[in-house]
Amino acid sequence: MVRIFVVLGTVVALVVASTPPAGAHGVSDTADFSLAQSFAGNELTLVVRRTHTVPGPLTVDFIAHDPVTRTSVDVGLVGQPRHAKVELSRRGTHPVRLEVDRTGRWELILTAADGEQARIPFQVMRSTLTLWEPVAYGGLAATGLFMALALITAVFARRRFMVVVPAGAGVLALTVAITAALLSSAIPPAQAEGAIPVDPAGGRPYVNSGVTTDQDPVTGKEFRLRLAITDGNTGRPVDDLVAHHDALAHLIVSSVDGQFFRHLHPVRTAPGELAVRLAVDRPGRYLVHAEFERVGSGSQLVRGSFEASGPKAGVDVPKDVRRAVAGRSHTIEMSVGGRADLQPWLGMAGHLVLREENGDFFGHVHEMGPMRGTADETVASLPPHLRFTFTFPQPGRYFGWIQYQRNFTVTTVPLLVDVQSP
């Protein structure tokens, strides 16, 4: 009998281990929802903590990165009278608490002291069981019950053959549980209550986009960069972006000479409209690359550009020069010193952005090491050695920027990669 219970424990562990983890794209009913935002002069990560009860409290953590611009932000939900206020005065976490009374789509409204506003869509979900789960767990519970009855019968029954009945039932229940667990990977997961409905027709079409500014950019003066996105089929504003590596959109702005670089996360101001505040430091042409993802579709890259005038206000920074060969896998490594205290940023230990000198090619890759569980930016435990693998498509000069986070401060290291012919 002892061996039977050892087998039961092993089966329980296998069933629990077979539960699929939360994905890196979109939002999961079993994980927190993180979203980077360039808002109110700050680089923020908003973490909407998982709601365990509905109706119930909703906790939103504002994680501020250095440098911090002191300001206050009013936080509310569309349709809800209760608001909260967060004072951004230091790097780190600033929590606020709101209330939700239903599952489904919500909009978080952020209003800065200067009137800037962001409207952030998110889902409040409640988990539902997949078909295999009640069968597997019910089978395990029944197995335990029948085996307990078999043990009692073996001790107290005068007729030993009576043990066969509960023991046989236990074996049958165990067989059902193991079968359900083994088939779990082939059974589609149940859609959580309040989740975004899955489109049976498949993915959405690509979008059309346009990059504009609210004024003629002048060096050293802040302006607003806007990105308008419309459906490639209907022409209507696109309002179904999902979190793609912890942001609705990743916006890369770089000068043609590669000396200016910003990795920003524009806020949603209206359906199909994203915007971010920006100031540049040198005259000339700037290239804009934006990455995002629609519901049920893969990621998409769109491009744009703008011109800036005025005197040069920045200092040229020397770049770490590397060499590679076109068409061959190349690994870029960098030790950033210190202890194993790097924090995840945008869901990864590190990011490498690459751009061909003429702007024709753009790439974005992540640090090769696996992430540890679902740790957010408040956990500092990643090793200080970064490795990126990439295959350059053709010879030429490529500008690169490595980014990582320590102590809520994102560091950017510029590179110059000279890619030669095979």
Min mean pLDDT across 63-67, 85-89, 179-183, 313-317 is at 179-183
Confidence (pLDDT) at 21? 37
pLDDT on residue 130:
59
Mean pLDDT of all residues in 148-176: 64
Q: Which segments of the chain belong to CATH 2.60.40.10?
A: 33-124, 320-420
Q: Does domain 33-124 have CATH number 2.60.40.10?
A: yes
Class of domain 320-420: mainly beta
> What would the pLDDT profile of 50-69 be if each residue is shown by its tens digit?
888 889 999 999 999 999 99
At residue 129, the pLDDT reads 57
Q: Are strands 409-420 and 320-325 parallel, antiparallel or unpaired?
A: parallel
Residue-wise pLDDT tens digits, 301-338: 999 999 999 999 999 999 999 999 999 999 999 999 88
Q: What is the pLDDT of residue 24?
A: 40
Mean pLDDT in residue range 157-186: 63
pTM, full prediction: 0.78
Closest by CA position to 108, among listed 146, 142, 82: 82
pLDDT of residue 338: 85
Quote the CA–CA distance of 108 and 35 in Å, as a whole number. Answer: 12
Task: Please tell us whether the domain made up of 207-308 is placed in CATH 1.10.10.10.
Answer: no
Considering only 15-24, 180-189, 272-281, 388-397, which range has the smallest mean pLDDT?
15-24
**What tens digit of pLDDT does each residue of 228-284 get?**
999 989 999 999 998 888 999 999 999 999 999 999 999 999 999 999 999 999 999
Residues of the chain with CATH 2.60.40.1930: 207-308
Average pLDDT, the chain: 84
pLDDT of the residue at 188 = 57
Report the pLDDT value the prediction gives residue 404, as an integer from 0 to 100: 97
Asked if the model's pLDDT at residue 370 lies above 90, the reply is no
Question: Which range is least confidently modeled, 30-34, 149-153, 360-364?
Answer: 149-153
With contact defined as beta carbons under 8 Å apart, do 136 and 184 qualify?
yes
